[in-house]
Structure formats: structure tokens, C-alpha cells
Structure 1
Amino acid sequence: MENDEKPRGLNRRIALLIDADNVSHAKIAVMLAELSKYGTANIRRAYGDWAKPALKGWTDKLHDFAIRPIQQFSYSTGKNATDIALVIDAMELLYTQKPDAFCIASSDGDFTPLVMQLKANGHEVYGFGERKTPAPFVNACTTFLYLDSLEDPSQPASQSEAPEAPAAPKAKAKSKPSAGKATEKTLAQNTKLVTILRGAVEASAREDGWALMSAAGSAAKRQAPIDPRNYGVKNFTALFTGTGLFEILKGENGQSYVADKRNKDRAPRPGG
């Protein structure tokens, strides 16, 4: 789910399976919009005990977005039968409907084995969930997006898009560190992220030490389910730039290139 890459196979069929107990109904529109970059979610199912008051908000959303509700009663106290129903349906769909890809919307790490099995069968698995989602589930997905990273176009503009407030006095402005510097420091201190980004550049770099940004982004996503929006930026160009550890330039062909600043043998400029 990366903005630097062109979507591929928009006619692909995606099975969207939602754990309604662990996903807010308010995010359905943005999830479907995100999935539309990769294909059509022509199988849409949401699982839960619809008699529960907590799922009342889902009623209108199910009709609005043509999502099929799958009723699952809680047969035992403390046991989540919804998870089992979703897993059974996913495996049935794998061999009957045979969708091109799956999307599991949940913050429950118990779905990790399911994701791994679907991927082992050659299917991409997209994930949506909250920040509390366990790391094994996040890492198992082909791509995982935190729901708070998705902007709803139907909502009012965010504070960053609102008209600028009058400038503060210079004396006060100097006393505050810039947001850009704070972000750069935070990203640079994320050892796992930096290791993945450096590995991506190394894997896709040409002899002159420069890598196409699109190729580096793809290489990063092959290592882990990285989406720049989870780090507060819009695309891989901004993510590489935000760490302060890479040099980004545009080549003569107008395409963006990235190089590791540690590579002292790199050419002054990308040659392609």
C-alpha cells in the first residue's frame, strides 16, 4: 500500500474478512478505498454476534457497503467463536471461490497462523488493525496498515490542512524544536526501520551506488510489511528523507533516486 508504486492487477478479486469485534465500523469506507488500489473486494464479510450492543453501530455500515454479516454466537464464556468462523471461511474461500488475495481486518494476533497459511498458498494478505495489534500478525501480512493512519476523505480537513494560524512571536518560535528535526531523530533511532531501508537500498542499488526510489520501496516491502503512512509520512521518498540517513536526488529522466550516505563510493549523481 505504497504511493510510490503503481497499483497492479486492478481486476484482482479480494476477499475482505472483518473481525467486527476488533475493528471500528467507522473505518470501512477508507479500508475499501485503500483496497481499491489493488483490486476489487467482491467478497465482503463481517463476523460477530450481532445481538451484542457493542456492534450496533455496524448495522447501517453493512447495508451501505454491501457487507455480508456472519452471525456467530458465543458458545462458551471467554471463548471467541468469531475467530474460528472467520478462519473456517477463509480456508473454504481459498479452495472454492479462489480469490486472488485476502484482507484480514482485525487487531487479534490469533489470526497470524491463518495469514501465514494463505501466504504459503501464494496469496497476498493485506491487514488492517489498531496500534495494539501484536507484531507477529503485523509482520506476517504482505502489507499492514494501522487504521489511524488512514485518512477519511469524508471528514473535515485535518489541522495540518487547515488555514495557518498567525505566526507566533519569533522569540517563542525559537524556543521550540522544529517538527521536522523531531521526526528525523525519531525515525533515525528506529533501528529496525533503518536496517530495512538500508538493506533495500543495497539490494536495489546500481553500480553507481544509487537505487531507483520505486525499486528501493519495493525491496523494503519484500522484507517487511512497511507502509510509510504508519510512520507519519505519505510515501517512501518522505520516509527515506525523514531519517536523514539517505540522499535523494532526481535523475535526468525525472525519476527519484536514493543512496545511503554511508556509501562514500557512490557517484555524485545518479547516472540513469
Structure 2
Amino acid sequence: MENKLAVLIDGDNIPSAYIKEMMEEIAKYGNPTIKRIYGDWTKPHLAKWKAVLLENAINPIQQYGYTQGKNATDSAMIIDAMDILYSDRVDGFCLVSSDSDFTRLATRLREAGKNVIGIGEKKTPEPFIVACDRFIYIEILKAGTRETEMETSKGKSSKKDEFDKITPKVIKLIASTISDVADEDGWAFLGDVGSLLQKKQPNFDSRNYGFQKLTPMINAINKFEIESRDNQRGRFKLIFVRNKD
């Protein structure tokens, strides 16, 4: 049975330009049965959201700013999240914001056994990121890949500067994770490696570095061996990796 998700969007904190790609990304993790966006819809800066709400069946929740300098949107979104949690209508939550004020909410939802996916900009503070099971930067949803840029940017400037650099720290993280799940010969199933990387670092995503999948990213680093094996249970090959000596 497909996971049911509650998608709660902080309209004051997320640009509307990413809505199409964002909803397509969320659909990978389950069925968004509840979709709400919070903000003061009397404010001009939310006007761009109004045009895309009907197209994506997102329910706008009006929240007036009662006090100058205070974000009433956060409180409304947190209260709704707890109401939904206690109603037990969903299997997980998708919190769309770059605001660290939702850190405690993400932690509380996970304590209740719910899967929490965070989506926000790269400026999102670390505490909110690590409070989620998975955190996705919205910038990568519109970005291409290094492979695509190599094919399409002949004679044009490359966009690879949009991607994070693969630092020695990233390589060390991958290498240690392979060792953690490897067999006696040092080989590790790539699916297990990816799952553990996500647990260690919720915002780890090969797309942050310009690769659509983890396999081409590991292959490009050239410090790991990759082997594909026949899958007796299906037609797709199984990918295994190990650290080079």
C-alpha cells in the first residue's frame, strides 16, 4: 500500500517557482493526500502562489500576522501538523520550509513513528536538516546534471558551479559507509550504501553534486570499484561497490 503523506508548505519561506518540480519529487515518496500552504494571503508577496494553488490542488490556509515581527504562519502549521498526527490519517509528513523553527516539529513527528521529509533552500539551518529523515534542496529540482551540461553546453558556459564540490570529506563519508555494510570481501550492495548514507546525513543526495543517481557519482570519484551482478529475482542488475586498495 502506498504511503499517505501530509504536505505542509510555509508560503512565507519558499518560492512558488519550484512548485511543479517539488510536487513531482514528493510523489516519489508517497501519495500526498493532504496538501496545505500557510501564509497571510492579503500580502502582495504571496500573489505568485495563488496562480499555482488550483493547478496543484493545494489548500491555502489564511493566517494573519497578529504581531509585528512574529511569524504566525509557523504556529498555524505546527498546530495543524499535530492535529493531523493525532488523527492518524497519514504515514509521513513533508515539511516544506527553510526555517529552523520547524526543527522541534520534525523531531516530534519522528518520535511518533512518522517519516519526515524536509524540503527547503540551501540556506536551511543544519538543525532542521538533521531533524528530518531526508532533506531535499529545492535548488537541485530545477538544476540539470553534470552529464547533461557536458552534452548541451558546447560553446556555452557550464552550469556546474551550481553543484556542490565532491570534497575529501564526502569521499570519506562514502568510503566509511561502504565499509560499514560490506561483506568479508569488501563488497557492499549499493542500495544498502545509499540507505545508510541517508541515515548518516539526511541531506545527502547525488543530485547536489550534479549526478542524477549515486552510481555515476561513485564511478566519477574513481576511488571505488563497481560491479553489476545478475538478479535472480528480477531483470535489473544489482550494483555492488567496494573501496579500492
Query: Which category describes the TM-score, using the shorter chain as reference length?
Result: 0.7 to 0.9
**Deviation, structure 1 residue 249:** 2.4
Q: What is aligned with 1:256?
A: 239
Q: 2:85 aligns with which of 94, 98, 104?
A: 94
Code of the residue aligned with 2:135 in structure 1: it is F
Give the structure with higher Rg (CA): 1
Q: 1:114 aligns with which of 100, 105, 119?
A: 105
Q: Residues 97-119 of structure 1, C-alpha deviation per residue, up to 9 Å, x if partnerless?
A: 43101000001011111101111
Q: What is aligned with 1:14?
A: 5
Q: What is aligned with 1:199?
A: 176
Moved over 6 A (4+): none
Code of the residue aligned with 2:91 in structure 1: it is D
Q: What is aligned with 2:209?
A: 231
- Provide the C-alpha distance between the structure 1 equivalents of 2:88 and 2:58, rounded to a whole number of angstroms: 17
Alpha-carbon spacing, 1:259–1:40, altered in 2? closer, same or farther (3 Å)? same
RMSD: 2.3
1:74 counterpart SS class: coil
**Deviation, structure 1 residue 251:** 3.2
**Deviation, structure 1 residue 59:** 0.7
1:88 counterpart SS class: helix
Q: 1:221 aligns with which of 193, 198, 205?
A: 198
Q: Residues 144-185 of structure 1, C-alpha deviation per residue, up to 9 Å, x if partnerless?
A: 1111100389xxxx755537449xxxxxxxxxxxx8xxx99x
**Deviation, structure 1 residue 238:** 2.4
Q: 2:53 aligns with which of 43, 62, 72?
A: 62
Unaligned runs of 5+ in 1: 1-8, 167-178, 265-272
Q: What is aligned with 2:167?
A: 188
Code of the residue aligned with 1:34 in structure 2: it is E
1:145 aligns with 2:136: yes
Q: What is aligned with 2:186?
A: 209
Q: 2:115 aligns with which of 124, 137, 146?
A: 124
Identity %: 40
Contact persistence 1:72–1:82 (CA under 8 A): yes
**Deviation, structure 1 residue 243:** 3.2
Contact persistence 1:128–1:144 (CA under 8 A): yes
Code of the residue aligned with 1:54 in structure 2: it is H
Alpha-carbon spacing, 1:163–1:242, altered in 2? closer, same or farther (3 Å)? closer
1:162 aligns with 2:140: no
**Deviation, structure 1 residue 194:** 3.1
Contact persistence 2:190–2:240 (CA under 8 A): yes
Number of equivalenced pairs: 231
Using structure 2 for the length normalisation, give the TM-score: 0.86
- Provide the C-alpha distance between the structure 2 equivalents of 1:31 and 1:37, rounded to a whole number of angstroms: 10
Contact persistence 1:19–1:86 (CA under 8 A): yes
Unaligned runs of 5+ in 2: 232-236
- Provide the C-alpha distance between the structure 1 equivalents of 2:188 and 2:201, rounded to a whole number of angstroms: 19
